[in-house]
Structure 1
Amino acid sequence: MARFYQKQYSAMDRNGVRYMADRLELDIRRPLRTFSKGMKRQAFLILALCANTDYLLCDEVFDGLDPVVTEAMKNLFGKEIQERALTVVVAAHKLQDLEDFCNEIGILHKGGLLLAGDMREKAGTMTKIQCVFEQDEPLMAEHPSIVRCHRDGCFTTVIARGKKEEALENIRQRNPIFYKEVPMTLEEIFMTEMEENGYDIRKVLQ
């Protein structure tokens, strides 16, 4: 397959294929037809990366890969993006697949672009706080700075927009047993932005 790719892509890096296959413990001497679904996906991703194109278009790029291999492939993607002028465009339903190496996210729904941009930048004015109260504390959704508030068992998770210290002070005034600022996931940023833009997240995710 590397020899075939080389006929199509003059900059094909066959040494890179060997290096990446060795990193992922794929035996390049075995016929592809004997590979499992996950191993085939790894092989095709290696070939795509080593074709040395300027753009790489991927659809559900990590489908069929176990968590360990997914992490290894993300590292390979990140290395290639840093070392050369590679633009990767990925279509995915699992936002966590994109979190580690995608800079810009676009949300498509029914053929239209709902939201696009740097989600981390959009989250710059938001603070996520996890807290525990001694007694059942009424949800704080009525506070103007609170954009999301969710209780799961004894934990209450609050996402507030505005100055971080003001959000933390709002929690402290309620005398929690425990509270801590934690990083927001890409999915939480997405859902918060969607809701603030007036979209019913349950319908969008159907």
Structure 2
Amino acid sequence: MIEISGLHKKFEEEAAVQDISLAVHKGSIFGLLGSNGAGKTTLLKMLAGIYRPDRGSITLDGQPVYEHPASKQRMIFLADQPYFFAQTSITQMATFYRSTYTSWSEERFQQLAPAFASISPKRKLHRMSKGMQRQASLWLALSCKPDVLILDEPIDGLDPVMRRQVKNLLFQEVAERGLTVVISSHNLREIEDMCDHVGIMHEGRLLLEKELDDLKSDTHKIQVAFRDEHHQQAIGGLLDIVHREQRGSVGTYIIKGTVERITEVVQVYQPYVFDVLPMTLEEIFIYEMGDAGYDAHIILL
């Protein structure tokens, strides 16, 4: 299990990460979301042992991560920009990984080859597209059979077929080996499909951290049309409404709380239209960020 406690990190006078504490359990896929500049990549680099925290601690199964080779052997970090040695092929990079990671599996490397068939083993990686370089990174990382895989924008540049392939491979590793995955991405649809836990960062702080199912059960979208316009004001005093829109007689509300409580309050006023609509993770993210003061105002120029 990964445990993060009271984590702080500054660059000069700018606080990138402020007082973050969370736990990521073995065999889970944790999605890290946030606004641009929220501190996600800084947190991932500390988690991988690349940056030293100014304060706080990060441990993997009770052992520190920073400057602890045994912990680093168990994890791999794939950055947003894939990096390879100059003029190397996937075969040459495999030789380097084989000499670096004691957990390297030549059998797994060969098993994964059909999944990444578009990559020629002898072709120079610097001549490949970003999407193909990302595939190569994942191929090498999974061949090391790490206990923890840290991914920064892992599906950026991948075509839809390859995205599905990568997700299936990650699901397989989690199910069969108990791989722990931490993913940061702006593609919330993909995060929603993959993750069982999510955390949302803003301005270096962790706004919330929950199981995805619990997060969805705490926020609901409804469409309702009341017989009396005063009823709209009445439910505002009884429910935690974070957003509302009115189109004619039908209002759309984003409300925090259980669906049972929302239904109980609304039904008292006998609306002639009342529907509970499914919410996507992207919608929840937008309204949570708006609640934190990061509201989007559309500007047309």
Shorter-chain TM-score range:
0.7 to 0.9
Instruction: Give aligned-pair identity as a percent.
Output: 36
Q: 2:221 touches 2:255 (CA, 8 Å); kept in 1?
A: yes
Q: Select 1:49's aligned residue among 129, 142, 153.
A: 142
The size of the alignment, in residue pairs, is 197
Identify if the C-alpha distance between structure 1 residues 14 and 138 changes in structure 2 by more than 3 Å, giving closer, same or farther. Answer: farther
The equivalent of 1:167 in structure 2 is 262
CA deviations on 1:6-65 (whole Å, 9 max, x unpaired) are 111122233333333412432443413442211111111121122111111221211211
> RMSD between aligned alpha carbons?
3.5
Unaligned stretches of 5+ in structure 2? 1-92, 297-301
Within 1, Cα distance between the matches of 2:115 and 2:230?
Answer: 52
Q: 2:244 touches 2:251 (CA, 8 Å); kept in 1?
A: yes
Q: Give TM-score, length-normalised by structure 2.
A: 0.53
The equivalent of 1:98 in structure 2 is 191
Q: CA deviation at 1:119?
A: 3.8
Within 1, Cα distance between the matches of 2:108 and 2:232?
Answer: 54
Q: 1:24 touches 1:72 (CA, 8 Å); kept in 2?
A: no
Q: Select 1:145's aligned residue among 227, 236, 239.
A: 239
Q: Give TM-score, length-normalised by structure 1.
A: 0.73
Determine which structure has greater relative contact order: mean sequence separation of CA pairs < 8 Å that are 6+ residues apart, divided by chain length.
2
Within 1, Cα distance between the matches of 2:96 and 2:162?
Answer: 25
Confirm whether residue 11 of structure 1 aligns to residue 103 of structure 2: yes
CA deviations on 1:103-139 (whole Å, 9 max, x unpaired) are 332223333333223243133233333x487xxx899
Higher helix share: 1
The equivalent of 2:163 in structure 1 is 70
The equivalent of 1:108 in structure 2 is 201
The equivalent of 1:89 in structure 2 is 182
Identify if the C-alpha distance between structure 1 residues 33 and 125 changes in structure 2 by more than 3 Å, giving closer, same or farther. Answer: closer
Identify if the C-alpha distance between structure 1 residues 152 and 3 changes in structure 2 by more than 3 Å, giving closer, same or farther. Answer: farther
Q: Which amino acid aligns with 1:77?
A: L
Q: 1:146 touches 1:158 (CA, 8 Å); kept in 2?
A: no
The equivalent of 2:53 in structure 1 is none
Identify if the C-alpha distance between structure 1 residues 10 and 194 changes in structure 2 by more than 3 Å, giving closer, same or farther. Answer: same
Q: CA deviation at 1:70?
A: 1.8
Identify if the C-alpha distance between structure 1 residues 74 and 100 changes in structure 2 by more than 3 Å, giving closer, same or farther. Answer: same
Question: Helix, strand or coil for the counterpart of 2:149?
Answer: strand
Q: Which amino acid aligns with 2:284?
A: I
Question: Helix, strand or coil for the counterpart of 1:62?
Answer: coil
Within 2, Cα distance between the matches of 1:140 and 1:73?
Answer: 46
The equivalent of 1:187 in structure 2 is 282
Identify if the C-alpha distance between structure 1 residues 19 and 188 changes in structure 2 by more than 3 Å, giving closer, same or farther. Answer: same
Question: Helix, strand or coil for the counterpart of 1:70?
Answer: helix
Higher strand share: 2
CA deviations on 1:138-186 (whole Å, 9 max, x unpaired) are 995736325244559898643333442553573793323xx65443222
Within 2, Cα distance between the matches of 1:152 and 1:35?
Answer: 50
The equivalent of 2:68 in structure 1 is none
Confirm whether residue 25 of structure 1 aligns to residue 122 of structure 2: no
Identify if the C-alpha distance between structure 1 residues 164 and 109 changes in structure 2 by more than 3 Å, giving closer, same or farther. Answer: closer
